Structure formats: C-alpha cells, structure tokens
Homo-oligomer: A and B are copies of this chain.
Amino acid sequence: MSNNVPEATVARLPVYQRALIELVREGASSTSSEQIASMARVNASKVRKDLSFLGSFGTRGSGYDTGYLLEQIDRALGLDRSWPVAIVGLGNLGRALANSQGFSSRGFFLCGLFDVDPSILGSRIAGVLVRHVDEIGADPDRAASPAIGVVATPAAYAQEVADRLVAAGVGCLLNFAPRVLSVPPHVLLRYVDLSIELQVMSFYLSHRGAGPGVPAGSAISAAASLPHPVGMNAGA
C-alpha cells in the first residue's frame, strides 16, 4: 500500500474510521462497503476503491471484519503513534482548540502553547504551560518539539508564527488565521478558514433564487457591520 493514496481518499479515511468505531461499539463483528458507505454518506464503490489503496482487507462474498479493518485504517493513518501538537495564539479560538477533544484524542497530544500576552504567559490551559512565542523551538528536548503546528493568531502575525514553527521543525501546519501562508514544500499546510466557508455559502445562497438575504444598504446590515450586531428587524 504505502504511498500512492490519493489525497481525497486520505481525507475520507477518518470518516470511515468513525463509522467503524461506531460499528465496533454496537458489537457488529462484520460489515460491508454498502454499510460503511451509508454511514459515511458516500457511495459504496468509493469505499471499496478507497480501501483498496491500503490493501485488500475484505472477504469476497461476506464483507469486512470491523475490528481488523479499523486496525488497518488506524495504521494507515499513522494513529498507532502519538504526534506532538503545538498551538500558537490563545485567544478565544486557540483556547477552544486547546480544550477540545481533537487534541487529547488518541494519536495526538499537546506539547506546547504559545502566545505573547503577558497576562496569560505562565498560566496553564488544558494542563499545559503557556510560554512566550520566542520560546518556540527553544526546547532542546527533541520529544518536546512539535510535529504539527496550529496557527490561531490574528492574521497579521500568522506568517511570522508559521516561519517560527517551520524553523522549529514541524512537518505540518494547520492554519486558522484568515491569511494565505507561505511555507517550504516539505511542510504540509492546511487551512481552516471560517470566512471562506461563509463566503462560499453566500455564493450558493445568492445563486439559488432569492433567499432571506437582507439588502446591503438597509439599516439591518449597517448594524451588522458594527462590532456587536443585533439582528432581526422587519425584513426588506
């Protein structure tokens, strides 16, 4: 198997994994591509083709053994190890991330939290000490150095933070700042961008027969552009 797995397939493996965890929990000892597909809301041949990139783990005529398949997917995803993650920027979002299940779940652990705000430096979030951004990569202990860096700073600082994380040796960057970043080619960069998601939705809403959108010039949208918008007035 190894390396020729399409990116789109990789992104679906965690979804199959979740379906399998659910099935195992329910006590189902075997399953089918059809069943996984319906849980993952994709079609069955996609499931079969995706799994075939990892190997052939099923039995013709009867399906897949849930536990075994789950193991294989976990192994393919590299979840038989734990990757150290550092979060930079501990505003509302960064703190929410630090406290979220995602990082404490199997496969990952928080190895560092960084910010510049003196009022939180030295405190602990999710049990981890908050250090100054200048200390990124300063720890001589290799095992304390992050494999994954999460950027949750304001947009203006995102590139500099990314540069520091790269210098500290991260292999992957997950960027929550609304900013295009530049990283060397050996670093995998992924974006989670709320404003892009919203704008894509706006596109579809406005190209799908007039929905409940409020014209931009109206009082309501003027209010909406203030820091603390209050919605709901009479509509257009």
Which positions in A face B, CB cutoff 8 Å?
Answer: 2-3, 5, 7, 10-11, 13-15, 17-19, 39-41, 70-71, 74, 76-85, 91-93, 95-97, 99-112, 126-128, 139, 141-148, 169, 171-172, 174, 178-180, 182, 185-186, 188, 190, 192-208, 210-216, 220-221, 223-236
- Residues of B near A14 (CB, < 8 A) are 193, 195-196, 199-200
Name the residue on B nearest A111 (C-beta): B231
Partner of A142, one of B91, B201, B226: B226
Partner of A82, one of B178, B203, B229: B229
15 example contacts (A-B, Cβ-Cβ < 8 A) are as follows: A78-B213, A79-B202, A80-B233, A82-B224, A93-B96, A95-B96, A101-B195, A106-B234, A109-B229, A112-B231, A126-B228, A126-B229, A147-B212, A188-B212, A192-B192
Name the residue on B nearest A125 (C-beta): B228
- Residues of B near A194 (CB, < 8 A) are 97, 100, 102, 192
Task: Give the Cβ gap from A233 to chain B, nearest Cβ, in Å.
Answer: 6
- Compute how far the CA of A127 lies from the CA of B223 in the bound complex, rounded to whole angstroms: 12
Task: Give the Cβ gap from A193 to chain B, nearest Cβ, in Å.
Answer: 8
Given contacts A109-B221, A109-B230, A192-B194, 6 further A-B contacts (CB under 8 A): A18-B179, A71-B236, A81-B202, A84-B228, A92-B100, A106-B234
Q: Tell whether A186 pairs with B228 under 8 Å between CB atoms, given A147-B205, A201-B174.
A: no
Task: Find out whether the CB atom of B188 lies under 8 angstroms from the CB atom of A81.
Answer: no
Q: Tell whether A81 pairs with B232 under 8 Å between CB atoms, given A93-B100, A100-B93.
A: yes
Partner of A231, one of B110, B148, B178, B188: B110
Task: Find out whether the CB atom of A200 lies under 8 angstroms from the CB atom of B195.
Answer: no
- Residues of B near A15 (CB, < 8 A) are 180, 196
- Compute how far the CA of A235 lies from the CA of B79 in the bound complex, rounded to whole angstroms: 10
Task: Find out whether the CB atom of B188 lies under 8 angstroms from the CB atom of A224.
Answer: no
- Compute how far the CA of A82 lies from the CA of B70 in the bound complex, rounded to whole angstroms: 44
- Residues of B near A206 (CB, < 8 A) are 77-78, 81
Task: Find out whether the CB atom of A171 lies under 8 angstroms from the CB atom of B227.
Answer: yes
Task: Find out whether the CB atom of B195 lies under 8 angstroms from the CB atom of A228.
Answer: no
